[in-house]
DNA sequence: CGATTGACCGTTTTAGTCATTTGGTCATTT
DNA sequence: AAATGACCAAATGACTAAAACGGTCAATCG
């Protein structure tokens, strides 16, 4: 059996997108890294956009897998939430692609990169939404719109991890977890 | 008494910054609108940046005034919070300068425009912070870091008003107010 | 004969250029 | 003394030739 060219192409593309972003990745380069003729790419993917989509789907799939690995239905909702968000953040930091895409959106505003980030966000919200629904069913948290709640959780998490450090010393994981709990779980109303 | 040229220049600059943004505003244009020689501007402001700063300070001052108008110490904290945030949002939407600066940041990423937006945010957080501190002192809300709490409130408000509508039908003011209360005041912990 | 390739094509991006415009100065005018 | 606008060095952006791009396909390979 000959080498799996599709696999070679996907690996090369993943590497290149992560290293140079969407715009910075050329089909010639992918072909070169994959040790494959440029035409071969087009027998598996009809264009650059579709190739990028494949890489994004794999990334999101892997994120889901990583998250699921850490969730324990026996644990409390907020404990799981913190673990998952941490895991995702670590994963995201590890995985250069997400970072590179964020950079690209900020620096040159590449549409495709923005779409990529949006896809990741959507997947994360979708995942949290499931967890919220389960927690509501178990009576662990109040009845609420799971989608909206998931959205609020992600935004708050991002505000505490990403936005805050734009003008303050960054918060460590423990503190972020504390704050998430403080604001969302207990609320500000006095006892 | 001769005409107040400083005033003329400030009015002209405010109009021009609001109409054309920071980059799009030229000193020649400001001079022309103000019916003043260009050199005159430099007797009052040592450069374009300083002129812009003056306009920003006035904008922020006006925002504070507008916010203070609506706050009633007799009312509950969350009622005041909603009123103030609504007022500020309306103000921001109404006031062309803030819009223009946001556009400019997104479209060409002008540093000075970014600084301007940042200044506005900082002023808003600062103002909410005061209100939070007062509410904590009155025992209306739990003891908490007022700065962090103000930050979280603004971010959550922005997420609900600005971010949410990027991929969903926008929420009306009443709903936003409900949600802010629901998540921050009562919390998700079951009764 | 189907799978693979890279030379090739029309289009877009880039780098380099220079005339124009800009923020800022200051000798002159009011 | 206050105000002005001609003037200057520096920044800008319109222009273009050259390079690089995504995508195709006739020739090649196994």
Q: What is the pLDDT of residues B97-151, one digit of tens each?
A: 888 888 888 777 788 888 898 999 999 999 999 999 999 999 999 999 999 999 9
DSSP B176: H
Give yes or no for a contact between B124 and B154, defined as CB atoms under 8 angstroms apart. yes
8 Å CB contact of A188 and B151: no
Q: Judge whether A36 lies within some domain.
A: no
Q: Judge whether B158 lies within some domain.
A: yes
pLDDT in tens, B64-74: 998 889 999 88
Indicate if the pLDDT at residue A41 is higher than 90: yes
Q: Judge whether B32 lies within some domain.
A: no
pLDDT in tens, A146-155: 999 999 999 9
Cβ-Cβ contacts under 8 Å, A142 against chain B: 186, 188-191
What is the CATH number for B162? Answer: 1.10.357.10
Give how many domains chain A has, as a whole number.
Answer: 1
Q: Judge whether B112 lies within some domain.
A: yes
What's the CA–C1' distance between A37 and C5, in Å? 5
Q: Judge whether A162 lies within some domain.
A: yes
C-beta atoms surrounding A87 within 10 Å: 17
Residue A85, domain extent: 56-186
Estimate the share of chain A in helix, then strand, then coil, as percent rounded to the nearest 5. 80, 0, 20
Residue of B nearest to A139 (CA): B190
Residue of B nearest to A161 (CA): B152
Residues sharing a CB contact under 8 Å with residue B22, sequence separation 6 or more, in sequence order? B52, B101, B104, B110, B112, B113, B116
What's the CA–C1' distance between B39 and C26, in Å? 10
What is the CATH number for A147? Answer: 1.10.357
Cβ-Cβ contacts under 8 Å, A138 against chain B: none
Q: Judge whether B88 lies within some domain.
A: yes
What's the CA–C1' distance between B40 and C26, in Å? 12
DSSP B163: I
């Amino acid at each position: 059996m000959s080498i799996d060219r599709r696999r070679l192409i996907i690996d090369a593309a993943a590497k290149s997108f992560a290293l140079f972003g969407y715009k910075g990745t050329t089909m010639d380069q992918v072909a070169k890294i994959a040790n494959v003729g440029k035409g071969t790419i087009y027998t598996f993917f009809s264009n650059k956009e579709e190739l990028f989509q494949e890489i994004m789907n794999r990334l999101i799939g892997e994120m889901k897998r990583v998250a699921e690995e850490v969730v324990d239905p026996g644990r409390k909702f907020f404990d799981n939430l913190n673990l998952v968000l941490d895991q995702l953040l670590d994963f995201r930091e590890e995985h250069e692609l997400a970072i590179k895409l964020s950079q690209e959106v900020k620096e040159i505003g590449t549409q495709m990169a923005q779409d990529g980030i949006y896809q990741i966000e959507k997947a994360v919200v979708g995942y949290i939404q499931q967890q919220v629904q389960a927690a509501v069913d178990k009576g662990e948290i109040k009845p609420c719109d799971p989608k909206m709640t998931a959205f609020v959780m992600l935004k708050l998490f991002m505000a505490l991890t990403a936005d805050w450090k734009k003008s303050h010393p960054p918060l460590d994981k423990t503190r972020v977890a504390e704050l998430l709990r403080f604001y969302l779980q207990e609320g500000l109303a006095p006892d």
